[in-house]
Amino acid sequence: QKEVEQDPGPLSVPEGAIVSLNCTYSNSAFQYFMWYRQYSRKGPELLMYTYSSGNKEDGRFTAQVDKSSKYISLFIRDSQPSDSATYLCAMSANDMRFGAGTRLTVKP
């Protein structure tokens, strides 16, 4: 079993939809949780960074961490075609572990 599990999708939604992306993990030592966005043929770029449990909001993006369930989520409100990308969750304790990434397409 991988330390970090992420459904690879692909996920296709119409413009304006609410998108929910999720990861589960097995290592209870993880304290820092991140979401990276990766456009095709580009390097990943940080989207959201949270420490421990709770919610964090940034514009149309909300990151949630539930450490008791070992589950993290990223919500995208009012999704746009420009949100079409692969979204990778990442988490760290003494080192960093990435999920496999979920490919999202937002159709106009």
Partner 1 sequence: DAGITQSPRYKITETGRQVTLMCHQTWSHSYMFWYRQDLGHGLRLIYYSAAADITDKGEVPDGYVVSRSKTENFPLTLESATRSQTSVYFCASTGGGYTDTQYFGPGTRLTVL
Q: In this structure, what token pair is assigned to residue 41? A: 């043929």
Shortest distance (Å) from residue 99 CB to partner 1 = 6
Stretch that binds partner 1, among 11-19, 59-67, 76-84, 89-97 (CB under 8 A): 89-97
For partner 1, the closer CB: 44 or 79: 44
Q: φ, ψ for residue 72 (rounded to 5)?
A: -125, 150
For partner 1, the closer CB: 42 or 77: 42
For partner 1, the closer CB: 17 or 31: 31
A 10 A CB-CB count for 9 gives 15
The answer to the question of residue 46 lying near partner 1 (CB under 8 A) is: yes
The DSSP letter of residue 83 is G
Q: How many CA atoms lie within 13 A of 102 on its CB side?
A: 25
- C-alpha closest to that of 70 among 24, 37, 33, 36: 24
Binding site for partner 1 (CB under 8 A): 4, 6, 8, 31-32, 34, 41-46, 49, 88, 90, 92-96, 98-101
